[in-house]
Amino acid sequence: MTPALGSPRSGRVAVFDIGKTNLKLSLLDEDGTPLAESRRANHSVHASPYPFFDVDAIWDWLLNELTRLPEPHRIGSIITTTHGATVALLGEHGLTLPVLDYEFTGVNEVDAAYASLRDDFGVTFSPALPAGLNVGRQLYWQSQRFPDAFARTRTIVPYPQYWAWRLSGIAAGEVTSWGCHTDLWDVTRGRLAPMVNKLGWQSLFPPLREAGATLGELLPDVAARTGLPADCRVVCGIHDSNASLVKHFYGVPSPQMPMNVISSGTWALVAGIGAPLSVLDPRRDMLANVDAWGRAVACARFMGGREFSVLSAGQADDCSQQDIATLVAQRTLALPSFAPLGGPWSTRRGEIRGPQPASAQESYALATLYTTIVTDDCLTRLKSSGEIVIEGAFTANRHFAALLATLRPEQVVWVSEDRSGTTGGAYLLACQPSTYNSPRSRALPYSIPGLSDYVSCWRMA
């Protein structure tokens, strides 16, 4: 079913984007034109009772930045998009437990008991992931480790909806976050997974709302502090990788399928739109996400942004094509994995074989080669066909798309000119314009001698 266009909504849109690495607040005009943006690094607090996100500090930053936006009284909507694998437990007076950082490995102490409770992959299409990447494991660990606090919990909300609750006072659930490798969502039936009922948690899940639904207006004290209008709409919100998919369906009479969208940030998520769920291998961090319209999307992923930072060491922001050719010629191979969580080879420790990069630019080139080859591997595992669109952080790398086009000559590779697909998707849900164009440019392949043999050598290694 093709998503229907909504009625255009007046006023500028504030998009609050919480990534694992950065916080971003963007202001867009009614036609989608960016007007202002502010950023801050995001990090968790490593303290008792476990690593957690300092939501009060984030809240203060958000309110302060809202006051600094130009003409805040003209903002008609505010919407939040966040990383997945994160929920908030609410009681009568706010949080009953801190918002857990999903990279915390302490939750694995319940693995043996939890494994007997979680539903089969064919129900949730959620693989058994390390640390807290399965929200169900987080919740089970919290219920066992902090039974009194868990018993005081009245509502469990996904992370985007936690911020909507702080802005509006209204709690809601939403399918893109519940369907994001949580173990909590029955993907094919579109409802909470049997495990939720088995553990008696069903009453803790608030009513579902669509990602673009209006939950209510700003709380009076928030409007007073920020200068936003009292009738500013608080929109439900969406999981960030799914926000990147919105523009590819929005207002399209006949979405082209199959197609593939690479949503990149701390995580690189490769979405095979139109691919059958039967291609998914849970051992390789392949899973089904659920899009804003409740449809299952076959995906593969790895911690691409994190691994790129490790390999490049942040010492250069570009390289030359010759730097890439040099590494290819001398067979310098970066072999997975360089991040502790997720990806096709999550149990393998990363290593560099062959001559080491001789400069910061060569380190950047090696990181580019690595992320391109792993992305290509993900596309192959999804049995990818059709066009490929790159969204997010990887669009800033001028070599990534060209290398991917070189490795996949039978597919057209596009680079979105919207550097932040999450922000653009959230804007569309909040403003629901009657028309929307998604500007993009076609990537042209490189001619690098020996690249095919280099990739074959990488795969064999």
Which of 81, 179, 133 has the alpha carbon at shortest distance from 302? 133
Residue 189 has pLDDT above 70, yes or no: yes
- Give the per-residue pLDDT at 255: 58
Cα–Cα distance measured from residue 161 to residue 389, given in angstroms and rounded to the nearest whole number: 28
pLDDT of residue 276: 95
pLDDT in tens, 235-250: 999 999 999 999 888 7
Question: The tokens 């290819």 sit on which residue?
Answer: 328
Nearby residues of 130 by Cβ (< 8 Å), 6 or more positions away: 105, 108, 340, 341, 342, 346
Work out the pLDDT band at 251, boundaries 50, 70, 90.
Answer: low
- Whether 2 shows a pLDDT value over 70: the answer reads no
CA–CA distances in Å: residue 99 to residues 118, 371, 398:
22, 30, 37
CA 450 to chain centre: 34
Q: Give pLDDT tens digits for 379-394.
A: 999 999 999 999 999 9
Q: What pLDDT score was predicted for residue 6?
A: 54
**Is the model's pLDDT at 420 over the cut of 80?**
no
Give pLDDT, residue 7.
64
H or E stretch at 142: helix 135-145
Q: For position 417, what pLDDT does the model report?
A: 85
Quick one: pLDDT at residue 372?
A: 98
Q: Given this model, what pLDDT does residue 418 score?
A: 76
* Per-chain mean pLDDT for the chain: 94
Task: Name the residue with higher pLDDT: 134 or 258.
Answer: 134
pLDDT exceeds 80 at position 435: no
Three-state DSSP class for residue 59: helix
Angle at 436 between CA 433 and CA 437, to 5 degrees: 165
> Which residue has 């790398």 as its token pair?
397
Residue 402, pLDDT above cutoff 90: yes
The pLDDT score that the predictor gives to residue 437 is: 76
Asked if omega into 337 is within 30° of 0 (cis), the reply is: yes
N-to-C CA span, the chain = 43
Confidence of residue 5 (pLDDT cuts 50, 70, 90): very low
Count of other CB atoms within 10 angstroms of residue 428: 25
- CA angle, corner 121, sides to 116 and 123, nearest 5? 100
DSSP 37-100: EEEEE--EE--SSS-EE-HHHHHHHHHHHHHHSSSGGGEEEEEEEE-SS-EEEEETTEESS-EE
Question: Is pLDDT of 19 > 60?
Answer: yes
**Binning pLDDT at 50, 70 and 90, where does residue 405 land?**
very high
The answer to which of 30-34, 367-371, 399-403, 404-408 has the lowest mean pLDDT is: 30-34
Q: What is the token pair recorded at 428?
A: 């569309």
Query: What whole-number distance in Å separates Cα of residue 192 and Cα of residue 146?
Result: 24
**Per-residue pLDDT tens for 309-356?**
999 988 889 999 999 999 999 999 999 999 988 899 988 999 999 999
> What is the pLDDT at residue 340?
86
As beta bridge partners, residue 260 has: 272, 388
Q: Is the Cβ–Cβ distance between 266 and 42 less than 8 Å?
A: no
Task: Name residue 390's beta-bridge partners.
Answer: 262, 415
pLDDT at 3 over 60: no
More confident residue, 285 or 420: 285
pLDDT higher than threshold 60 for residue 253: no
Domains of the chain, earliest start first: 12-241 (3.30.420.40), 252-460 (3.30.420.40)
- How confident is the model over 95-109, as a mean pLDDT? 97
